Amino acid sequence: MLTEVDRLLVATPDAAAAAAAWSAVLGAEEVMAGPASGLGASRRVLRAGRSDIEFLQPDGTGPIADALARRGRAHVWAAGAASPDPGAVAQTARAAGARVQDEEGRVQVELEIEGAPIRFVISPEAERTPAGRLDFLYEATVLAADQAGAVGKIRDAFGLDESVFTTITSEMFGYTGVLTLFQAGRLHRFEVITPIDRDKTMGRYHAREGACFYMGFAEASDVLDIEHRIPAGGVTVDRPEGRRPDQSPDQVWIHPPTLGGVMLGVSRPSMAWMWSGHPERVTPL
């Protein structure tokens, strides 16, 4: 029922500054601004590739103000996915015990994972004119201690086929994970990861924040150009040994302060298949 990750929703005390950062580094372009009255916030939407980034700034009391007060900083408040039938998604999610409500023509699905509200916004499929240096988002990552429990809730809420899921382990970052792929042969998914090294950045983050969204991942045709636009100290780069500095890295992780509170991974085309079940699909440089 889900076809692609189509947006991230970011709670921020300063939407203008966050939007400016995405524009400077990734060439994202504003496509809409207006109220998000049900959230007690204003909404500023930027197009990044074929995906949207929504910056939600509180203009009074409401869920966004509460989220910022609880977390104390800008963060990914929800992840969005597209569906040809959001109404059917809503029915499935309700039957699985999720909290579901309409939100300005979309469906908001809230799962309780380890006592924390993990929110998803399901929108009708739409064609979008691409903008900027990204091609598209394909992943939103949830941190959770009970990996199997979180995966099960996401699977059941969205009617996903567990037979196409794949697992991932990273010694570099100290975690294990499950990619809840929406469809066989496509990259789009929610990722559930569990830190296994409490001393690494992700382990410390989870110890401080608990279950929450951690980051997003996107694909871009020219990762080298993006790398060069990121301020010094604002990025972690994965460039294999022996590859020249003027050649594309396989991926970069843009640190949250660089993008207004959002950690964003960016991989070169096809590279994400290396850890998504089909390494034979990776095009070598």
Render 61-116 in DSSP notation, one character per residue.
SSHHHHHHHHHSS-EEEEEEEEES-HHHHHHHHHHTT-EEEEETTEEEEEEEETTE
Residue 39 DSSP label: G
Q: Tell me the pLDDT band of 168, cut-offs 50, 70 and 90.
A: very high
pTM: 0.96
For the CA atoms of 76, 70, 255, 22, the dihedral, rounded to the nearest 10 degrees, stands at: 50
d(CA 203, CA 145): 10
Look up the CATH number of domain 4-281: 3.10.180.10
Mean pLDDT of 57-81: 96
For 87-125, write each residue's pLDDT tens digit.
999 999 999 999 999 887 899 999 999 999 999 999 999
Distance CA 276, CA 272 (A): 6
- Structure tokens belonging to residue 152: 């099960």
Tens of pLDDT, residues 215-244 = 999 999 999 999 999 999 999 999 999 999
Domain ranges of the chain: 4-281
Q: Assess whether pLDDT exceeds 90 at residue 37.
A: no
What is the rounded average pLDDT of the residues 154-166?
Answer: 98
Q: Distance between alpha carbon 71 and the CA centroid of its chain, in Å?
A: 18
Reading the block at residue 252, the tokens are: 């970069």
Q: What percent of the chain has pLDDT over 90?
A: 95
pLDDT of 142 higher than 80: yes
Q: How many helices (H) and strands (E) does the chain have?
A: 6, 16
Share the mean pLDDT of the chain.
96
**Under DSSP, is residue 151 helix (H, G, I), strand (E, B) or coil?**
helix
Residue 264: closest CA among 137, 117, 121, 118: 137
Question: If you average pLDDT over residues 13-35, what whole number do you get?
Answer: 97
Question: In the prediction, which pLDDT does 95 show?
Answer: 98
Q: Which tokens go with 248?
A: 């594309």
Between 84 and 105, residue with greater pLDDT: 84
Residue 4 one-letter amino acid: E
